[in-house]
């Protein structure tokens, strides 16, 4: 029952805000809908943790520990982002970069985007998974181009075309999956239900599934931002409004990786070897290395953190590719940490760019003097994402690297070099932004920094102490991934 609320609230919210989003309290309504979604997701989570996996709606929806964890994370970050976007978008409007009409589009698309991601996470049908991933892309295309600047239009166009082509590959993968499934399960809607496929995965034709996985990985991998398919990601993150960058980076990438993981479980069962894992490790490692060296060359702060997202998603993909209980656990933990930390960073960066009036790092200086809370938020967030203890990212990265040392020692030098390069370049660039000399003015509105410190507090807590029930939950989810 809760599942209908989880999906219904954002979709209704999207419609409602589309029809009557011109009012001045639309940002509050947006936050309210996000809050209700969060409550529904929390109720659903409590129930799954207590009662175990469940099917709903005539096996249309399937929820287990793995996806309910992502549902909770998605609803949480969506809520905090809506809190952040309230003052942020008001300031943008005062700066004349947005008007009421575009804000209405923004609020409505925001809710639909969240709804589409939640549908992708909870559906049991691999075809509907594809449909909702594409819907999530379409909902954000016009958000990336919200400012209507030449650069933002180009970014949105790239986003649409590259993700469109990518996701067309995923559709072909889904067709191949159905083709293999139909022989075992018979034609009709049931043949694409993940639970049904999972039950018969050892009977599926291995050669077809192998081909299907390649297409699914390339397709959904484009949306995860895996190198060399990552070109759309830095542009879309840098040119869109900051709340959109935060949800793209913190949530959409996770959902795309979720789709890959669901396919991987099936393929592993059918093939009985680690072909899928090997491919994911390769793509993951390449993304980590490529992103780390590109970070060094960035001048735009949002672009730099977008590349950092590619790096971290690569790390998670690598961890899932290694498989096994520890690596999968670490991957899930890192996914959570990255979502929370990276969205917190984008919140801080958003306000920092507003007060400086530029996204270029050379123009942002001395935040600690003019806006101390923003400065501290950015500094702590940066330290957290760079894997400094005692933040949670340290714990997950440590687990991933030690597992890699143990099982795939050849990969360790690449990982360590990349993490070192990323550390040096990001820290070297953020430090003067926070501590340098400045004459920048303060922000006119009180910035919304509660979400930043809420996220960082959670990351800190998880780094110091993971509550036993949470660890249990992660372990259950890791076991579902074939750990």
In the complex, the residues that contact another protein under the rule CB under 8 A are: 125, 127-128, 130-131, 134-135, 138, 141-142, 145, 148-151, 153-158, 160-161, 164-165, 168, 171-172, 174-176, 178-179, 182-183, 187-189, 191-192, 205, 207-208, 211, 235, 239, 294, 297
Least Å distance between CB 311 and another protein? 15
If the CB atoms of residues 426 and 480 are measured against another protein, the closer one turns out to be 426
DSSP readout, 334-371? HHHHHHHHHHHHHHHHHHHHHHHT--BGGG---HHHH-
Least Å distance between CB 233 and another protein? 11
Q: What angle is formed at CA 324 by the lines to CA 323 and CA 328, rounded to 5 degrees?
A: 65
If the CB atoms of residues 174 and 341 are measured against another protein, the closer one turns out to be 174
CA–CA dist 465, 222 (Å, integer): 34
If the CB atoms of residues 3 and 128 are measured against another protein, the closer one turns out to be 128
Least Å distance between CB 181 and another protein? 9
If the CB atoms of residues 215 and 474 are measured against another protein, the closer one turns out to be 215
- The DSSP 8-state label assigned to residue 442 in this structure reads P
Least Å distance between CB 163 and another protein? 11
CA–CA dist 426, 96 (Å, integer): 31
If the CB atoms of residues 198 and 231 are measured against another protein, the closer one turns out to be 231
DSSP readout, 209-228? HHHHHHHHHHHHHHHHT-TT
CA–CA dist 274, 280 (Å, integer): 10
Least Å distance between CB 182 and another protein? 5
CA 6 vs CA 56, 76, 439: distances in Å: 13, 12, 46
If the CB atoms of residues 184 and 460 are measured against another protein, the closer one turns out to be 184
Reduced to 3 states, what is the DSSP secondary structure of residue 395? helix
- The DSSP 8-state label assigned to residue 249 in this structure reads I
- The DSSP 8-state label assigned to residue 63 in this structure reads E
Q: Where does 22-125 have alpha helices with state H?
A: 26-51, 65-94, 100-122
Least Å distance between CB 43 and another protein? 27
Question: Closest Cα partner for 67 from 326, 254, 246?
Answer: 254
Least Å distance between CB 93 and another protein? 19
- For the beta carbon of residue 398, count every other beta carbon within 10 angstroms: 13
Least Å distance between CB 162 and another protein? 10
Question: Closest Cα partner for 362 from 423, 294, 420, 440?
Answer: 440
If the CB atoms of residues 32 and 138 are measured against another protein, the closer one turns out to be 138
Question: Closest Cα partner for 319 from 273, 287, 271?
Answer: 287
If the CB atoms of residues 291 and 404 are measured against another protein, the closer one turns out to be 291
CA–CA dist 184, 197 (Å, integer): 9
If the CB atoms of residues 29 and 310 are measured against another protein, the closer one turns out to be 310
SS3 annotation, 408-437: CHHHHHHHHHHHHHHHHHHHHHHHHHHHCC
- Go through 132-141 and write b for each residue having 16 or more CB atoms within 10 A of its CB, e for each that does not: bbbbbbbbbb
Helix, strand, coil share of the chain (percent; to 5): 80, 0, 15
If the CB atoms of residues 297 and 406 are measured against another protein, the closer one turns out to be 297
Q: Which two tokens stand for residue 235?
A: 């542009």
If the CB atoms of residues 61 and 79 are measured against another protein, the closer one turns out to be 61
Least Å distance between CB 165 and another protein? 7
If the CB atoms of residues 150 and 468 are measured against another protein, the closer one turns out to be 150
Q: Is the dihedral of CA 388, 311, 358, 90 positive or negative?
A: negative
Least Å distance between CB 138 and another protein? 5
- The DSSP 8-state label assigned to residue 55 in this structure reads E
Least Å distance between CB 169 and another protein? 9
Least Å distance between CB 300 and another protein? 10
């Amino acid at each position: 029952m809760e599942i209908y609320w989880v999906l219904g609230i954002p979709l209704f919210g999207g419609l409602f805000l589309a029809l009557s989003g011109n009012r001045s309290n639309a940002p509050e309504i947006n936050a309210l809908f996000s809050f209700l979604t969060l409550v529904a997701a929390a109720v659903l989570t409590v129930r799954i943790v207590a009662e175990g996996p469940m099917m709903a709606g005539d096996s249309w929806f399937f929820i287990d520990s793995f996806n309910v964890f992502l549902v909770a994370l998605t609803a949480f970050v969506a809520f905090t982002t809506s809190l952040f976007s309230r003052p942020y978008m008001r300031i943008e409007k005062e700066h004349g970069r947005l008007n009421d009409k575009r804000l209405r589009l923004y609020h409505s698309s925001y809710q639909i985007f969240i709804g589409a991601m939640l549908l992708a996470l909870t559906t049991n049908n691999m075809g509907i998974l594809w449909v909702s991933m594409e819907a999530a892309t379409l909902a954000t295309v016009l958000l990336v181009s919200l400012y209507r600047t030449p650069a933002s239009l180009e970014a949105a166009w790239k986003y649409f075309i590259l993700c469109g082509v990518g996701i067309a590959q995923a559709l072909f993968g889904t067709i191949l999956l159905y083709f293999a499934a139909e022989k075992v399960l018979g034609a009709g809607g049931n043949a694409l239900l993940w639970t049904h496929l999972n039950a018969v995965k050892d009977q599926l034709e291995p050669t077809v599934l192998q081909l299907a996985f390649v297409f699914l990985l390339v397709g959904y991998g484009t949306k995860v931002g895996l190198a060399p398919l990552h070109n759309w990601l830095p542009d879309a993150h840098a040119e869109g409004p900051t709340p959109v960058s935060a949800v793209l980076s913190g949530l959409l990438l996770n959902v795309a990786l979720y789709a890959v993981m669901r396919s991987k479980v099936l393929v592993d069962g059918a093939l009985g070897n680690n072909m899928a894992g090997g491919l994911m490790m390769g793509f993951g490692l390449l993304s980590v290395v490529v992103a780390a060296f590109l970070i060094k060359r960035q001048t735009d702060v949002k672009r730099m953190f977008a590349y950092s997202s590619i790096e971290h998603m690569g790390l998670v993909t690598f961890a899932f590719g290694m498989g096994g209980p520890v690596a999968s656990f670490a991957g899930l933990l890192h996914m959570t940490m990255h979502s929370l930390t990276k969205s917190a960073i984008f919140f801080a960066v958003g306000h920092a760019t507003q007060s400086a009036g530029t996204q270029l790092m050379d123009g942002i200086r001395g935040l600690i003097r003019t806006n101390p809370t923003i400065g501290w938020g950015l500094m702590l967030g940066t330290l957290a994402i760079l894997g400094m203890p005692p933040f949670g990212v340290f714990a997950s990265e440590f687990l991933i690297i030690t597992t890699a040392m143990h099982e795939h020692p050849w990969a360790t030098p690449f990982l360590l070099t990349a993490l070192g390069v990323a550390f040096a370049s990001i820290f070297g660039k953020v430090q003067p932004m926070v501590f340098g000399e400045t004459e920048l003015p303060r922000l006119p509105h009180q910035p919304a920094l509660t979400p930043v410190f809420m996220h960082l507090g959670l990351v800190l807590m998880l780094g110091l102490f993971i509550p036993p029930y949470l660890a249990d939950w992660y372990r259950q989810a890791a076991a579902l991934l074939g750990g």
